[in-house]
Chains A and B, each alone.
Chain A
Amino acid sequence: MRIRSLPTQLVNQIAAGEVVERPSSVVKELVENCFDAGASQISIEIEQGGARLIKIRDNGCGIIKDDLPLALSRHATSKIASLKDLEQVVSMGFRGEALPSISSVSRLTLISRISDADCAWKVVADGSEQDFDPQPDPHPPGTTIDVRDLFYNTPARRKFLKTEKTEYVHIETLIKRMALSRFDIGFTLSHNQKEMLNLKPAATETEREQRIAGICGTAFIENSIKIDFAASGLQLTGWVGLPTFSRSQQDMQFFYVNGRLVRDKLVSHAVKQAYQDVLFHGRHPVFVLYLTLDPALVDVNAHPAKLEVRFREGRLVHDFLFSALHRSLADLRPGHGIIQQSATESPPQTQVVQNVGWQNDSATQQSTPGFDNKPVYSLRPPLPLHVEETVQAYASLYPKPEPVAQVQPEAKPLGHAIAHLHNIYILSETAAGIILVDAHAAHERVTYERLKQQYQNGAVPSQPLLLPIKIKVSAAEADLAEQEQAFFTSLGFELNRAGPETIVLRSIPALLGNTDMETLIRDVLADMAEHGMSRRIQEKSNEILATVACHGSVRAHRRLTIDEMNALLRDMEQTERIGQCNHGRPTWIELSTGDLDKFFLRGQ
């Protein structure tokens, strides 16, 4: 067998194998091109689930006539020009592979017109990257790409396509996700000439929330809080669902890094940890989050479909996400105490990471007319290190107590206790209606948070072992244990290496007296190898504190006096994460006067 170079079309078909898996991947690549072209309106037409036709039209910057053949050639792109650009990609695409790959497995037509050209030009491509013959075409400024008969020449791929409906659903899900990443762009999606989605550009906060409600359901907006955190050059905005609004699957979790939807292990780990001990067992949180950071700090060139990214400072990003989400969940409490606090306190504006190479350098900008205005991170002032929450979001969650006349002199968010129902639930009258509190669950959380605070403030007592525990681990894990000795020591452990694959545990934290240390240490090392950090030990101590809290809290069926109940309500107002008990069960619910009126058809 002699070695020979493959024909161009075959090369492109091989590349297509990676990038073009199904119709929705074609749509993804093409819509990303529209984003990069600076379009403000994108229309997508699908026929037969995309197998027959995918037609995408935008009003972006268009392609110059002479560049059309290049656009359809491999490794030709306007998005990056040098390695330096690759290290800080600000556009969605950069590989220069999408169009030739798609054209090699379908009948592709490209029509494009730049704004000051006399007419549009049209080329037809088959993946062979030759014989381009631009024809004039009456097309408004922008680009249309028409992909027909996907996989007509690769029957194996065609066989793997699912039903028309399934493929269409994939496309629709994808468009919805992409729509969440760019509120400034309008989308229309039609299937078999029927309009399925029509999303107008959303400029205001309400319009954005409407778009989210349209995609994630209105319940999501009603049960989420808007967050906006910034620190060390990272910014996290978006909406996170309340712990009570959880799902049994991880299907409503959208995370965008610089506008790009990613599924990242590091991210999901950080989120999971932030929701620890407020989420009911086996439930998953919902969120739509946007992380904005210096493009140089994230490597998007890690996955052909760019679903995974690599963070240069993984630990920093993880800690930032964790603390931002943890904070925002902790601050969920009746009333809006935290907002007033953050409004009056002037946040410390220290230490801001220098945003080196944050903006595109001017040369790249000139050569890429479409990108200069769009990406959200392009011209952001250094991010201040303070936390702020949006007052409106809270206000919509907890209706502001209207100053109703006959209620108690001072209106407390959780109101004043009236009775202890069945010796379990506290009935409380608030300005806005009534509140029912599960006394045990609420007191459990109050005690638990207090205990955690106390233990975090003190030193960590450690108990040396008379009979040290030998743990057999892999050599890599033993290395890791040695490296992270400071971490273990700070938590009350004393670990030594006793051989290439053995570590010896000589002291343990006194609090964790009777837990299975071997398993714990193994799990911690596994976490560290995978995520670079572990909060398992803290979680374990928290578990023990939770048990202590559970035993130390008033039990259901213990009769409480009015004063005791009021004291509990006041404590609740001050406690972090009070919405759920340690096991993620809700602690209180509210019935507004409006709800009550509805029961009795009042005012109708």
Chain B
Amino acid sequence: MKFIINREEILLPLQQIVSVIEKRQTMPILSNVLMVIEGDQLTLTGTDLEIQIIAKINIATADPGSITVPARKFLDICRLLPNGAEIKFELQDDKVKIASSRSRFSLSCLPADNYPEFAESELENHLFINAGKFKKALDKTVFCMANQDVRYYLNGLLLNVSNSKLKLVASDGHRLSIYEDNLDQPTGFESRIILPRKGVLELSRLLDDPEAELKVEFSSNNIRIFIKNLIFSAKLVDSKYPDFGKVFQQEFFNQIHIQKQFLKEALTRVAILANEKFKGVTFDISPGSLKMSTHNPEHDEAEEELVIEYTGEPLTIAFNAQYLLDAVSNLDSELAVLTIASNASSCFIDEPGDCGYKFIVMPMRL
């Protein structure tokens, strides 16, 4: 096996692959990247057994073959070679020789036969989506995913396709974000799958070109997404996503309109003196005015007052400032719209008008 490649051609795919490879491994081969040459195509594969990324690169001069090499070391070598360097890669006996102008490296490697196969069942559902649109959907939802919750289905993202409607939902049990959009082509099927947390974060990193068209294939166990020369595959979380519909079926107070920037700044300042473990901040809302206040166990106190657009009954509600900040920061508009359920049991945050996404934050009882 032998090939010559320009540093620039291999560096980016290699970086994308290495990010799924766990640093510490019990199976040594999993810290390696699989390299296969068939015809004039080089295929790089990295996996952690839950997610797999495959990159395909066209090369001119190559002898076919396959091998696995330590991913991080190979990446570091390529990364630290000068711009535009020609990299010569050659398998000799059980070593891989890498040469570029005056640099010589010899890497220990493991045979490709032992590289774990990523089991995929037949993927019966297909859809096409623009990468920019999908990236936005992910951005509006990923921050609400739970991390290492015992309710493992919350450590992921719900992807709900219903003919031409796409819905993404993430929640950690305390807050929820929901994003809805229309697909360009009707898919003709209805399905709900849960993408694992790590997969979602990796995927979102791969969607750097907003113009690209994605082909998404999935079954109830697996998902595969074609992103230009990359193929991203992941195992799905095998569970039912909890029913969150009830939160919409309640009465609400009038909408509160607040300048997003002012709200963010005021919240950040007030939160300095909130309890550092759960950042409780109390909102006293009355027509035209929002007073937020907090205190902590050391008896420090903070207060801020904001001008808001609100007509209706005065009300008092408390929030974890961090949850509110996360939600408000993800709004695109200048104006934030807060809609509070009439029994003060939840708060909806979105933009004025129809924006396709919504954040729900549960209040606290202080």
Contacts and interface: CB of A to CB of B under 8 A. Distances in A.
Interface string B325-366: 000000000000000000001100000000000001011111
A467 B173 contact: yes
B297 A461 contact: no
A463 B278 CA distance: 9
Contacts of B175: 466
Interface residues of A, number: 26
A535 B345 CA distance: 29
B277 interface: yes
Contacts of A548: 276-277
Contact of A513 (B242, B278, B345, B366): B278
B247 A510 contact: no
A469 B154 CA distance: 12
A466 B278 contact: no
A451 interface: yes
Nearest to A515: B150
A514 B148 CA distance: 9
Contacts of B275: 461
Nearest to B344: A464
A457 B346 CA distance: 28
Nearest to B277: A511
A518 interface: yes
B320 interface: yes
B199 interface: no
A466 B364 contact: no
B244 A467 contact: yes
Contact of B365 (A461, A517, A519): A461
A131 interface: no
Interface string B129-155: 000000000000000000011110010
B336 to A, nearest CB: 19
A510 B277 contact: yes
A463 B174 contact: yes
Contact of B364 (A458, A463, A469, A517): A463
Interface in A425-482: 451, 454-455, 457-459, 461-467, 469
Contacts of B276: 548
A419 B366 CA distance: 45
Contacts of B13: none
Nearest to A518: B150
Given A461-B364, A466-B360, A507-B365, A455 B345 contact: no
Interface string B240-271: 00101001000000000000000000000000
A205 interface: no
B298 interface: yes
Given A464-B345, A466-B174, A467-B173, A544 B277 contact: yes
Interface in B167-199: 171, 173-176
B276 to A, nearest CB: 8
B156 interface: no
A152 B239 CA distance: 68
B366 to A, nearest CB: 5
B362 A463 contact: yes
Contacts of B46: none
Contacts of B297: 451, 454-455, 457-458
Nearest to B148: A514
Contacts of B320: 463, 510
Contacts of B365: 461-464, 492, 507
A118 interface: no
A510 B278 contact: yes
Interface string A33-61: 00000000000000000000000000000
B65 to A, nearest CB: 48
Contacts of A469: 151, 173
B278 A511 contact: yes
Nearest to B298: A454
Given A467-B242, A510-B277, A510-B320, A462 B173 contact: no
A402 interface: no
A324 B48 CA distance: 54
Interface in A485-521: 492, 507, 510-511, 513-514, 516-519
Contacts of B148: 514
Interface string A579-590: 000000000000
Contacts of B363: 464
Interface string B111-125: 000000000000000
Contacts of A519: 150
B346 A510 contact: no
A180 B66 CA distance: 79
Contact of A510 (B150, B345, B364): B364
Nearest to A506: B345
Interface string B272-297: 00011110100000000000000001
A459 B366 contact: yes
A311 B150 CA distance: 39
Contact of B173 (A458, A466, A516): A466
Contacts of A451: 297
A467 B360 CA distance: 11
Nearest to A552: B276
Nearest to A459: B366
B171 A466 contact: yes
Interface in A82-125: none
Contacts of B247: 466
A423 to B, nearest CB: 27
Q: Which of B174, B275, B277 has the most CB of A within 10 A?
A: B277
Nearest to B146: A514
Nearest to B280: A461
B243 to A, nearest CB: 8
Nearest to B295: A458
A510 B296 CA distance: 13
Contacts of A465: 173-174, 362
A432 B366 CA distance: 49
Nearest to A511: B277
A435 B320 CA distance: 45
A455 B299 CA distance: 11
A516 B146 CA distance: 13
Given A454-B298, A510-B320, A518-B150, A466 B362 contact: yes
B151 A510 contact: no
Contacts of B244: 466-467
Interface string A11-22: 000000000000
A510 B277 CA distance: 8
A565 B280 CA distance: 34
Nearest to A516: B150
A466 B176 contact: yes
Nearest to A461: B366
Contacts of A467: 151, 154, 171, 173, 176, 242, 244
A511 B363 CA distance: 14
A228 to B, nearest CB: 35
B226 to A, nearest CB: 33
A424 B149 CA distance: 37
A507 B365 CA distance: 9
Contacts of A455: 297
A516 B151 CA distance: 9
Contacts of B345: 464
A510 B298 CA distance: 17
Contacts of B150: 516-519
B280 A510 contact: yes
A517 B150 CA distance: 9
B365 to A, nearest CB: 5
Nearest to A454: B297
Contacts of B278: 461, 463, 510-511, 513
Which 7 pairs between the two chains have the least Cβ-Cβ distance?
A454-B297, A510-B278, A462-B365, A461-B366, A516-B150, A467-B173, A467-B242
Given A461-B278, A466-B173, A511-B277, 14 more contacts: A454-B297, A454-B298, A461-B365, A464-B363, A464-B365, A466-B247, A466-B360, A466-B362, A467-B244, A469-B151, A507-B365, A513-B278, A514-B148, A519-B150
7 contacts: A461-B318, A461-B365, A462-B364, A466-B173, A467-B171, A467-B244, A519-B150
